[in-house]
Structure 1
Amino acid sequence: MPLDLAHPAAFGAALTAIAGFLDVVAYVTFSHLYVSFMSGNSIHLGMSLATLRVSDIAAISGVVAAFVFGAAAGTLLQDHAGPRLLPLALGIEAGLLLIAAAASSVTHSTLCLLPVAMAMGLQNVLHQMSGKTSVGKGFVSGALVRLGQSIARLRSREPDPSGTATLFVGWMAFVAGAAGGALLIAPLGLVACLLLAAGVLVALLIADFLCY
């Protein structure tokens, strides 16, 4: 069931930017690991299996498992939360990022990534905020395929220019978030970047509350 938001496109773009931001923060900090882009992690897992790099296999498998667990938790929310889905999901995501930030202040370990990957798995389950707007997904290739399909159909009998624009903005948001992560991870560090992302989620939660 679509989520009822006052500004679904803005929410979708913000969540997608957070996914790109956190992917780069994790990639730079933890040996090219991602927290939302599981295709990249799957490639790294295959390479690690081929070379029998046990430590890398364990780290990547842990992140993938955390992502899947987050997706399962998000599905339970989606099935039972009803209109409370968005605030609950945003609150849980922010909490998971705060847990990761606290863990990162104590130890520099890939275990710190597990709550972040869990949060991204949960976020990916929020399939639709409106009838057309995808929410913060890490499936960039799929989004670009849909963008190409949408462009091809602009000259059809039922063109959807708003859908094309939404897909393009979503991709740009992911890229912009990734650029922000690349710019900020060195001067701010991991803990501050996680707190920043959590702060954005809290701001989105407050904005959603104020809209109603």
Structure 2
Amino acid sequence: MFGALLTAVAGFLDVVAYVTFSHLYVSFMSGNSIHLGMALATLRTSDIAAISGVVAAFVFGASAGTLLHDHAGVRLLPLALGIEAGLLLLAAAASSIALSTISLLPVALAMGLQNSLHQTSGQTSVGKGFVSGELVRLGQSIARLRARAADPAGTATLFLGWIAFVAGAAGGALLITPLGPAACLLIAAAILVAALVADLFRH
């Protein structure tokens, strides 16, 4: 359930970024890579700089998350959630002052960091934005349901993850126009803080 919540946040933030910043994503780097190729083909330097910055922030976040995973041990989850929430608050503050691509970079960094969290739950992907790969794994899992090594629980988890991402995206689409990006970022940060508090009370 926790993984589904983080995945929903990723879908939510992807839509907020997509609507606000000319079809840029914060967790879907395949889409950004396609946009980068198109920008390179037409030599749109401003788009090239913006997309490259978002991709670089995501990669840096994934690298930082891996370092956290290697050194934080059992403290990884609360530490990562706290950092993510702080980055979203920073992005909300920046976007309320001046709505530019720079305010998107902390969000992309947070989503890169979030992708490292799947390592805390064994084989279950937690909070990942790599939807195509998850759907491939879902298809493979469905094909093997009648096999001796079937994993119905794993199949259900993969399906729930996809549903969560779509639900989060729907929530972002519903809220971005009436609330604006800053408020949506605050909502996502509040969800992460709530998840952090829940994890601390659980232990």
**Normalising to structure 2: TM-score of the pair?**
0.99
- The CA deviation at 1:182 is 0.2
Partner letter of residue 146 of structure 1? R
Aligned counterpart for 2:84 among listed residues 93, 114, 117: 93
In the alignment, what sits opposite 1:5?
A: none
In the alignment, what sits opposite 1:13?
A: 4
SS at match of 2:118: coil
Quick check: 1:145 aligned with 2:136? yes
- The CA deviation at 1:128 is 3.2
Tell me, in whole angstroms, the C-alpha distance in 1 between the residues paired with 2:24 and 2:64. 22
SS at match of 1:36: coil
In the alignment, what sits opposite 1:65?
A: 56
CA contact (8 A) 1:12 1:129 kept: no
SS at match of 1:32: coil
RMSD over equivalenced CA pairs, Å:
0.7
- The CA deviation at 1:76 is 0.8
Tell me, in whole angstroms, the C-alpha distance in 2 between the residues paired with 1:103 and 1:55. 20
Q: What aligned pairs does 1:25-104 form with structure 2 within 5 A after superposition? A: 25-104=16-95
Tell me, in whole angstroms, the C-alpha distance in 2 between the residues paired with 1:159 and 1:76. 33
| Structure 1 gaps, min length 5 | 1-9
**Normalising to structure 1: TM-score of the pair?**
0.94
Q: Which runs of 4+ in 1 moved over 4 A?
A: none
Partner letter of residue 176 of structure 1? A
In the alignment, what sits opposite 1:22?
A: 13
Q: Which has a greater percent of helix?
A: 2
Tell me, in whole angstroms, the C-alpha distance in 2 between the residues paired with 1:130 and 1:35. 23
Partner letter of residue 178 of structure 2? P
In the alignment, what sits opposite 2:155?
A: 164
